């Protein structure tokens, strides 16, 4: 059934009908479409635009249709043009004339804008819930490994010692920002567009605030052209998802490195690893790799949305039908990725010995050696830096570490050194003393875990 049949002498060519249809993508919005229609009909009746009895009839039947789709009793027609057409057609078939009044003072242009907003509002709640769970599991691990010393890297070279808990908390910070980005995008999504009509509003005396209130929107759109043409909220959600995927892909990349034989800082549980069809010894971090890989498709969705909207004249253009596939794919991909990531982190084994051994190599305490000369012996940092560089070169030449270099060799380079240097450069000192706000010291990690947990408990 076509809503716009009247003007046409012919049916749409069947293959073209498939091309034009969005039902495969927008049928997931059936519940929102129906809720929107119920609110619209309720408002129309309350405003005296349709009879109260007709409004009641429409709402009762729409409820039934929603339940029947939900339970699988009513199958959405895959040949329908879109979900709006299907629901209205079904309603009219069931209740006749009253059904035909539902679309008074409404266009599919403002209807689809409403449905997408409602669907994404719901999805934001789900994604935010997942982010909270992910932050929680990272906090639990950070707490458990607050004093596990590991090398921190710059340029993928061992740089300075940190703690594993501190490293995990870095991801908590990123995910907290992601959470905020979703919250921020939600604010601009929380605007109700019904009443914009096709593009120019309507002559009917609508109570738009009432519709907004019935649907739980904070505001109504203020310009009918913008009301039907705005897809900023789709782009913003796709960006919030993309940024989150950047963070997940960075974390997954580290998990992949850490479980390689070259690092062996962690071991993933068998339930979250896969084997090779030819190499019997292999245990591969496929899940982490897939998450890293899927970030690419999400950035594709964001690019698709931006490119689709770029240069579009006002108001509605059919190009915009492409919004849903892209933004829903971004949302679904994020949800899909977080689902196995949480238990994968929960069940991984952390090989603290290996981390510590790695931290004991690579002159990771060289900065602390220079800091010792500054703090204990009053040397300017640049001089201390140069002396330490010479000591490192000496160690490399003699196959020693700063820990095993004899005091006499230290003193040969700079007479100010005494026994205290060994304490100053011990890994534990290096880590425990980094207790500046934001630093990796175990006591900081414990405090930061508390801070993050308090924040997420308050998040909605
Ligand atoms: N399926 C359409 C979409 O997703 C709904 C709006 C159609 N409006 C129109 N005038 N053709 O954008």
Q: State pLDDT tens for residues 86-136.
A: 999 999 999 999 999 999 999 999 999 999 999 999 999 999 999 999 999
CA 313 to chain centre: 31
Write the DSSP string, 305-347: HHHHHTTPPSS--GGGGGHHHHHHHHHHHHHHHHHHHHHHHHH
Distance between CA atoms of residues 144 and 148, nearest Å: 9
Test site for ligand 1: of 25, 108, 305, most ligand atoms within 8 A of the Cβ: 108
For residue 26, the ligand 1 atom closest to its alpha carbon is: 4
Q: Which of 24, 53, 260, 276 is catalytic?
A: 276
Distance 325 CA to ligand 1 centre (A): 13
Cβ atoms 34, 62 nearer than 8 A: yes
Give the side-chain half-sphere CA count within 13 A for 410.
21
Distance between CA atoms of residues 155 and 401, nearest Å: 21
Residues 6+ apart with CB under 8 A from 60: none
- Protein residues whose CB sits closer than 6 Å to any atom of ligand 1: 22, 26, 82, 108-109, 112, 316, 318, 320-321
Cβ atoms 55, 47 nearer than 8 A: no
Name the burial class of residue 429, with classes exposed (0-12), middle (13-18) and buried (19+) by CB atoms within 10 angstroms of its CB.
Answer: middle
Could you tell me how many helices (H) and strands (E) the chain has, helices first?
A: 20, 6
Strand-strand pairing, 219-220 and 157-163: unpaired
CATH topology of domain 114-187+222-358: Fumarase C; Chain A, domain 2 (1.20.200)
Scored b (16 or more CB within 10 A) or e, 15-30 reads eeeeeebbbebbbbbb
Distance 165 CA to ligand 1 centre (A): 50
Distance between CA atoms of residues 348 and 272, nearest Å: 9
Q: What is the pTM of this model?
A: 0.94
Q: pLDDT for 287-340, tens place per residue?
A: 999 999 999 999 999 999 999 999 999 999 999 999 999 999 999 999 999 999
Q: Whose CA is nearest to atom 12 of ligand 1?
A: 321
Distance 35 CA to ligand 1 centre (A): 18
Short-list 243, 266, 242, 269, CA closest to 254? 266
Q: Whose CA is nearest to atom 11 of ligand 1?
A: 318
The DSSP H or E segment spanning 214 is helix 208-215
276 an active-site residue?
Answer: yes
Distance 4 CA to ligand 1 centre (A): 12
Residues 6+ apart with CB under 8 A from 10: none
For residue 25, the ligand 1 atom closest to its alpha carbon is: 4
247 an active-site residue?
Answer: no
Name the burial class of residue 438, with classes exposed (0-12), middle (13-18) and buried (19+) by CB atoms within 10 angstroms of its CB.
Answer: exposed
For residue 198, the ligand 1 atom closest to its alpha carbon is: 10
Q: Whose CA is nearest to atom 2 of ligand 1?
A: 321
Distance 113 CA to ligand 1 centre (A): 9
Test site for ligand 1: of 103, 197, 318, 322, most ligand atoms within 8 A of the Cβ: 318
Question: What's the pLDDT score for residue 275?
Answer: 79
5-104 sits in which CATH class? mainly alpha
Test site for ligand 1: of 21, 23, 29, 82, most ligand atoms within 8 A of the Cβ: 82
- CATH number, span 362-448: 1.10.40.30
Residues 6+ apart with CB under 8 A from 369: 384, 388, 391, 402, 421, 424, 425
Distance 335 CA to ligand 1 centre (A): 27
Distance 12 CA to ligand 1 centre (A): 16
The structural domains of the chain, with segments of one domain joined by +, span 5-104, 114-187+222-358, 362-448
> Which tokens go with 93?
């078939």
For residue 324, the ligand 1 atom closest to its alpha carbon is: 4
For residue 82, the ligand 1 atom closest to its alpha carbon is: 1
Distance between CA atoms of residues 165 and 441, nearest Å: 9
For residue 316, the ligand 1 atom closest to its alpha carbon is: 10
Question: What's the pLDDT score for residue 13?
Answer: 84
> Which tokens go with 252?
């997954």
Cβ atoms 413, 405 nearer than 8 A: no
Residue numbers in the chain where pLDDT is lower than 50: none
Q: Which of 71, 155, 277, 415 is catalytic?
A: 155
Distance 212 CA to ligand 1 centre (A): 21
The DSSP H or E segment spanning 421 is helix 420-424
Question: What's the pLDDT score for residue 148?
Answer: 97
């Amino acid at each position: 059934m076509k809503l716009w049949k009247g003007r046409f002498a012919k049916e749409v060519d069947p293959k073209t009908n498939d091309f034009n249809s969005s039902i495969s993508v927008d049928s997931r919005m059936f519940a929102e479409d129906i809720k929107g229609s119920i609110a619209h009909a309720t408002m129309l009746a309350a405003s005296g635009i349709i009879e109260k009895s007709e409004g009641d009839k429409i709402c009762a039947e729409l409820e039934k249709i929603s339940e029947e789709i939900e339970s699988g009793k009513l199958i959405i027609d895959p040949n329908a043009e879109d979900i709006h057409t299907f629901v209205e057609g079904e309603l009219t078939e069931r209740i006749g004339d009253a059904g035909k009044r539902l679309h008074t003072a409404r266009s599919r242009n403002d209807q689809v804008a409403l449905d997408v907003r409602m669907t994404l509002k719901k999805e934001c709640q789900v994604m935010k819930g997942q982010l909270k769970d992910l932050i929680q599991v990272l906090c639990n691990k950070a707490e458990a490994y607050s004093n596990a010393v590991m090398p921190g890297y710059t340029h993928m070279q061992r740089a300075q010692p940190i703690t594993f808990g501190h490293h995990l908390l870095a991801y908590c910070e990123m995910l907290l920002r992601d959470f905020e980005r979703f919250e921020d995008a939600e604010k601009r999504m929380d605007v109700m567009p019904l009443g914009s009509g096709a593009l120019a509003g309507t002559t009917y005396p609508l109570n738009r605030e009432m519709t907004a209130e019935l649907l739980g929107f904070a505001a109504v759109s203020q310009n009918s052209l913008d009301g039907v043409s705005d897809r900023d909220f789709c782009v913003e959600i796709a960006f919030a998802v993309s940024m989150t995927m950047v963070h997940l892909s960075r974390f997954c990349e580290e998990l992949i490195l850490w479980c390689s034989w070259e690092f062996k800082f962690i071991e993933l549980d068998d339930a979250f690893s896969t084997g090779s069809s030819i190499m019997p010894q292999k245990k591969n971090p496929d899940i982490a790799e897939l998450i890293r890989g899927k970030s690419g498709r999400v950035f594709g969705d964001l690019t698709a949305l931006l490119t689709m909207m770029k240069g579009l004249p006002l108001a509605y253009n059919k190009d915009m039908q492409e919004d849903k596939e892209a933004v829903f794919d971004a949302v679904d991909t994020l949800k899909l990725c977080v689902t196995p990531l949480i238990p994968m982190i929960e069940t991984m084994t952390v090989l603290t010995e290996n981390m510590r051994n790695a931290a004991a190599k690579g002159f990771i305490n060289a900065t602390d050696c220079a800091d010792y000369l500054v703090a204990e012996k009053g040397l300017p940092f640049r001089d201390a830096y140069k002396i330490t560089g010479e000591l490192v070169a000496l160690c490399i030449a003699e196959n020693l570490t700063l820990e095993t270099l004899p005091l006499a060799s230290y003193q040969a380079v700079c007479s100010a050194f005494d026994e205290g240097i060994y304490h100053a450069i011990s890994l534990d000192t290096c880590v425990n003393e980094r207790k500046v706000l934001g630093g990796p010291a175990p006591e900081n990690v414990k405090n930061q875990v508390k801070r993050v947990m308090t924040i997420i408990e308050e998040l909605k």
